[in-house]
Amino acid sequence: MKPATEPTTLTGASFEDLVREMLVRLGEDTQREGLVQTPERVRKALQHLTKGYAEDPEALLKAALFTEPYDEMVIVKDVEMFSLCEHHMLPFFGKVHVAYIPNGRVIGLSKIPRLVEVFSRRLQIQERLTTQIAETIQKVIEPQGVGVVIEARHLCMMMRGVEKQHSAAVTSSMLGCFRKEEETRQEFLSLIRQRPNGV
Spatial distance between the Cα atoms of 87 and 73, rounded to a whole number of angstroms:
35
**CA proximity to 2, closest of 25, 21, 34, 36:** 25
Residue 166's pLDDT is what? 75
Q: What is the pLDDT of residue 27?
A: 97
Average pLDDT score over residue span 33-49: 97
- Nearest-5° Cα angle at 118, 157 to 102: 110
By 3-state DSSP, what share of the chain in percent is helix, strand and coil, each rounded to 5? 40, 25, 35
**All structural domains of the chain with their residue ranges:** 15-49, 56-193
Positions marked active-site: 85-88, 126, 154, 156
- How far apart, in whole angstroms, are the C-alpha atoms of residue 175 and residue 185? 10
Pair 118, 110: CB distance under 8 Å:
no
Tens of pLDDT, residue by residue over 99-153, are 999 999 999 999 999 999 999 999 999 999 999 999 999 999 999 999 999 999 9
pTM: 0.89
Cα→Cα distances 73→70, 116, 150, 159, 177, Å? 9, 19, 18, 39, 11
For the domain covering 56-193, report its CATH number: 3.30.1130.10
What pLDDT sits at residue 21?
Answer: 96
**Which of the pair, 160 or 182, is modelled with greater confidence?**
182
